Structure 1
């Protein structure tokens, strides 16, 4: 079921994964097993609003956002902004998991490795 920006708590209540957004380039899934967002495909200016909505929904419910980027093939500047600044609410943090080498280098060049903590 596709619910752009839908509340991840509802997915967790069912004990299963829930597709929060899917288009031809990007799929965002809420993983109830480990309370994380799985971002697959490509994030660019055409679909970064969906990423912003999903990150904001998780941040509103949990405060912190864990994002698995292992299947992320491409991200542009709009996508990076969405990933690193998930909504106007203060507090909380973005934790990146399974960061691909290209994204790790990009974050390092931009000086965001300390801000968006990540685990290999």
Structure 2
């Protein structure tokens, strides 16, 4: 089934799912003890168990969409976005699109982005 969804809704859904992955995994692990194997809830949830590679892909998608989501929120929050804001947002998105070597580099980029957002607020 193909469902048309806005990309930022997909981002929010994936981000929430990834943040709660331990709870989902625990539920799926314990479900056979509490739910009959032929019950609708078990037969619906069992195929939803994700592999580590799928969680990795989900995290990569979230990391890619997060700066775009932030940029969208920033430009949408202002009643009158300016070309200066747009130029800065594009510069930050270019920075985020470069491959980061370490997590600390990504963290520094994130802090730079947060500082830029505070200046415009």
Q: Which has the higher strand share?
A: 1
TM tier, smaller: under 0.3
State TM-score, norm by structure 1.
Answer: 0.25
- Relative CO higher for 1 or 2, CA cutoff 8 Å, sep ≥ 6? 2
Larger CA Rg, structure 1 vs 2 = 2
The two structures have a TM-score, normalised by structure 2, of 0.25
